[in-house]
Structure 1
Amino acid sequence: MAGNALTAIVAGPDEHGIGEELEALDATVSRVEGVVSADALKAAGITEADYLVLTDADEATGIPVAKELNPSVTVVTYADRSLPEFVAGVADLAVDPALVTPTLLAEELAAGGPAAGGDENTSDDETADATAGDGDADDGDE
């Protein structure tokens, strides 16, 4: 992303090191420790952020707050647990650290990532189903 400084907020404990991986790719990373509130998000620079990476599913109530403060922010959850249903549809991408390394996730985000319109949101089974047919599997009826 030469010329485009990527900005990200990592909210929650960063035991997998996603913040460091983003910084290694020249992203500007700020952090929210503790409660992911409007004040904490504002102090971290949510209005200018490209990404909010939430690492604690218990702080999921911060997702709609972040979207209200910056509708264009891409919210990525990088947590071992699933999000509560009431916010699952608001997050742009949910990633399980057991399946995707922080290095790979950081590279995807720095490259414009899954929320930029790629097919990374499909599971391996969906990808296999879409490529196994005659090439007409583009409507994704599931």
Structure 2
Amino acid sequence: MILVAGTDTDDLGDALAALGVDVVRVDGTATRESLVAAGLDDADTLVLTEMDDASAIPVAKEANPDVRVVTYARDTLPEFARGQTDLAIDPALLSADVVADELVGGAGDAA
């Protein structure tokens, strides 16, 4: 399962779902409560599409150390979150379809 937090204006969640991935959208701001409610404990990957939610990265890693954290946003990843982020991608450089293919290929049983 892949959690998608943020507005996802570039439609990465839809591209993942089109590949058969179980995508769960995080309601509202990505907080410990909203991440857990969305299924963080069982998630393979957390995708953040807004850097306003970057504070959720260390929270997610603390709650589920095995979750892969990917940012797919045009804004810069804050310094405090860089060490715990597995992959940071700018949508201006790679389309949602390309990123989805790569995430599914590397997500093991996510598809």
What TM-score comes out, normalization by structure 1 length? Answer: 0.73
Detail structure 1 runs of 4+ shifted over 2 Å in the superposition: none
Aligned with 2:106 (options 106, 112, 125): 112
Q: Which has the higher helix share?
A: 2
- Who is 2:58 aligned against? 64
CA RMSD of aligned residues (A): 1.2
Aligned with 2:77 (options 55, 77, 83): 83
- Who is 1:31 aligned against? 25
Q: Which has the higher contact order (CA 8 A, sep 6+)?
A: 2
- Who is 2:42 aligned against? 48
Distance across 2 between alignment mates of 1:60 and 1:77: 9
| Residue range with higher mean Cα deviation, 95-104 or 25-34 | 25-34
- Who is 1:18 aligned against? 12
Identity fraction in percent: 50
The answer for unaligned runs of 5 or more in structure 1 is 1-6, 117-142
Deviation, structure 1 residue 33: 3.1
The answer for unaligned runs of 5 or more in structure 2 is none
- Who is 2:96 aligned against? 102
What TM-score comes out, normalization by structure 2 length? Answer: 0.93
